[in-house]
Amino acid sequence: MLTRLSIRNIVLIEALDLDFGSGLGVLTGETGAGKSILLDALGLVLGDRADSGLVRVGADKASATASFEFAKLPASIAETLDDADIELEPGEPLIIRRQLKADGGSKAFVNDQSVGVALLREIAGALVELHGQHDDRGLVNPRGHRALLDRYAGTDVDGLATKWREWRAAEERLEAARGQVEQAKLDQDLLIAHLAELTSLEPQAGEEARLAETRATMQKGEKLSGDLEELRHILEGSDSPLASLRVAARKLDRIGGEHPLLAEALAALDRAVIEAGEAEDKLAAAAEALVHDPQALDEAETRLFELRALARKHRCEVDELPEKMREMRSFLNAIEGGEAELDALEDAARKASEAYATKAEAVHKARLAAAKKLDKAVAAELAPLKLDAARFLTAMGKLPEEKWGAGGIDSAEFLIATNPGADFAPLNKIASGGELSRFILALKVALAEQGGAATVIFDEIDRGVGGAVASAIGERLARLADGGQLLAVTHSPQVAARGGTHYLIAKSSSGTVTKTSVALLNEAGRQEEIARMLSGTEVTPEARAQADRLLEGA
């Protein structure tokens, strides 16, 4: 609820700090004293358009700050703050500040964190519900009427929303499967041709690297074949260097014992023979590895080029061709087995649709019953509020299928007819300002609304009425305020007497400077103000006595 409102340099208010509590608080004062300034300041906090005309003459900027406290932060506010990365600890007040410059610029802050004005508008509905002479939000807005009726009826809207989501999910799966099958059918002939082409080659993962290596090796063999053949001739035969070394080693072996140096020479010669033999073996192995088979080279090159051409055709790497084959087979299998899958998905979607329709119809019946009950409850409230000739109707209708949703298949709108025989029409199209406020009061009393805004404000709901009607209004306002917070700007002493707290708004002038002030009245002050409201300019003893009777009866 609203716990504090601080105003600086707005119109006639230089500086003002107001504390508010729970229950019914009333604001009174002479006409023109500045009650609307308080609402304008609160409107700034709630995201209303910045008007430089609100800045007090002579000041360069104005500001309004409102503090709200909650036993539990409403979910809608918590989600909005979370999206804006604003942390609010349990029990911590929500403080909204709006600054307005004389040149028209404005800034907004939530708990000292800069925010856009759009965020203020987003959370405003859960903070304050304002009903005044030109109310176009809250209960007047037909977009919220179905939700209000659901809260009144206690309908299972969460269960209905679940059925809707399940139906939509089933329909989306079905449409996705249909699209896949239809696309596969369109591509079927081309897929078959591509798959046949790939199947004829049967590409294998890693094959490109192996073929490229084989081709490169064969090409090296082709290039080195002449040199290898020449080396073979050099190393082979009876007159080859290796053969000569062996002959020399045998001869030296016979005389090696004659001198130590001969033995060393023999050992060196043996090593040379061994090394030369190893070289001969390596050359033979290399010649075998680099053997050049023109036909094999041609086959390797042909397959390698075919694989690369297919990869370019399908815009992928050669190693991805096996996966392309599997995808094509999957598409073709979808065509063959698609009808059976579609049948199963269609059955699931049909069952989900029926489940939603069944739930929606049950909710529809609950809404119809609640609408009749609500109409009777509102009708019972109209006569005491001097609206006995008026009629109230909760108009129910069924939406076309394309507008069905998580909220069901119904439309709901609150309508009124102010005169006998007149047609029903939306609240704000027929009722005058005072009538509209009283209709809203009757509706709120009938709804016994839970889960609405933390603070409810009625601006001059008693305009144009008095006596018993004003007493009825005061009694209903007090009833609505029980356990919550309701503020009423009023000119009626009967309403003012019902207030748990009473604020007097007064205007004073000093030379050319006019200021508005607000004071919290004690019991004596309340009696005097209510007496003034009863008697006018001059407060009489009779008016004070009547004020006492009103206060005692409240």
How far apart CA 138 and CA 150 sit, in angstroms, is 15
Residues of the chain with pLDDT under 70: 33, 132-138, 221-239, 287-293, 334, 336-338, 428, 430-434, 449-452, 511-512, 554
- Phi/psi-derived region of residue 146, left when phi > 0, alpha when psi is between -120 and 50, beta in every other case: alpha
What single-letter amino acid sits at 266? L
**Residue ranges of domains in the chain:** 189-332
Main-chain dihedrals φ then ψ at residue 154, nearest 5 degrees? 70, 35
Q: Do residues 501 and 487 lie in contact, with contact meaning Cβ atoms separated by under 8 Å?
A: no
- DSSP per-residue letters across 213-252: HHHHHHHHHHHHHHHHHHHHHHHSSTTSHHHHHHHHHHHH
Token couple for 41: 């300041």
Sole residue written with tokens 């009950």? 373
What is the predicted pLDDT for the residue at 72?
A: 86
What is the predicted pLDDT for the residue at 335?
A: 72
What is the predicted pLDDT for the residue at 25?
A: 94
- Considering the entire predicted model, what is its pTM? 0.65
What is the predicted pLDDT for the residue at 68?
A: 95
Main-chain dihedrals φ then ψ at residue 69, nearest 5 degrees? -125, 145
Contact residues for 480 (Cβ-Cβ < 8 A; gap 6+): 441, 444, 445, 456, 486
What is the predicted pLDDT for the residue at 228?
A: 64
What single-letter amino acid sits at 22? S
Nearest-5° angle of CA 35, CA 36, CA 38? 75
What is the signed CA dihedral for 536, 540, 546, 550, rounded to 10 degrees?
Answer: 50
